[in-house]
Amino acid sequence: MRSSAAPARPTRPKGAVRPPRLVSVATALPRHRVDQRNAREFAAALFGRALGPEKQRLLEVFDHSGIETRHTCMPLEWYERPHRFGEANDAYIEHALSLSREASEKAIRAAGLEASDIDHVLFVSSTGLATPSIDARLANLLELREDIRRTPIWGLGCAGGAAGLSHARDMALADPEARVLLIALELCTLTFQHGDLDRRNLVATSLFSDGAAAAVIVGAEARSNGTAESHLESRSKRTSGATESGTRCSFEILASRSTLWRDTLDVMGWTVDEQGLHVVFSRDIPTIVRQWVRANLEDFLAENGAGLESLSRIIAHPGGPKVLGAYAESLGLDPEIFRHAREVLRTCGNMSSPTCLFVLERTLEAGDLEPRELALVAALGPGFSSEYVLIRATG
């Protein structure tokens, strides 16, 4: 999508001398790796007899998912028997802490900071419950300061990673000295419903996986000390650098938009009963993308002095191959623009909220963005809603 013309200059938020910066991204995956072929065999063994011959074709959803491998927090045999909601939620708390800690430590190190430098933790998740919240428990493990500010956000689903970036930007605009740690964590497989023969449960079983991502966002006047200062002030000629502890980067977070379309509550989400969370998926999601996304996105970009031709990359949450295809079709783009999204889907599956941050990490590692180039982080979620974040690489 690169244009030979100079990138447009998006307008800066009123009252901000310089926009907040995204300075690191890191990810973490659980240790259990599941091939899609094995997942299909698992579903066939569990559901096949109950489905009957006339519904066996529903298992073909595994073949068309665009996924080859996924990671799960529990071994495959754990999912062979039913589990009470409380048991699954206990597993959620345990593995949410370990994965969030791993991703956070990587992101903090990559930013050249210490845990004690973090001023605000923003934790996004929709696949389990905890009070005290995961961020409070994590504060003890990471040894964050006692005056740490915390914002746990629940219920944003697949839009959570992009929405988290948007909220972190708002925090850093309100306090230009702030250093914000964003964590997006989902353990989607723990919501698996053993006895649910609904087609939506099969679709979720073919797509969902587990993972965590973290990012550090700093205000324009954020101070750093010691090693942190040398990391934040010394930049390579590239916009990013892969390290053992994560991916260092330098992006201005220029603008964001949240859209909640009316009367679409039944498109995506959870229903809840004594067994836990049951997925809600509408078959109309690709159609909605084709009909609504382009005008919505073009309006957002125009407000910020940019257009589709200004974007070097679209860093989209890969909900599935049909959603990515609908994005490309509605925006009139070469499907190659979504190659990192497809690759994350292929190797990691749909992890819900952290997935777009995985795509961002792949984009940075590939060196696809040069200084001054614009990119868009985009995700769709329950509501039905969209989240856009406009970022610009700095040198």
pLDDT digits (tens, 9 = 90+) for 311-362: 988 999 988 888 888 888 888 888 888 999 999 999 999 999 999 999 999 9
Q: If you average pLDDT over residues 63-84, what whole number do you get?
A: 91
Q: Which are the contacts of 181, defined by CB distance < 8 A and separation ≥ 6?
A: 104, 107, 108, 118, 120, 121, 122, 214, 215, 216
**Angstrom distance (rounded) from CA 139 to CA 149:** 10
Q: Which residues are catalytic?
A: 158
Q: What is the mean pLDDT of residues 255-278?
A: 80
- State the total domains in the chain: 1
CB atoms within 10 A of CB 298: 14
Instruction: Share the mean pLDDT of the chain.
Output: 85
220-259 pLDDT, tens digit per residue, is 998 754 333 333 443 333 334 444 568 888 899 999 999 9
Range of the domain at 96: 1-395
* List of residues 6+ apart from 318 with CB closer than 8 A: 66, 324, 338, 341, 342, 344, 345, 350, 355, 359
CA 211 to centroid of chain Cα atoms: 9
Write down how long the chain is. 395
CATH number at residue 295: 3.40.47.10
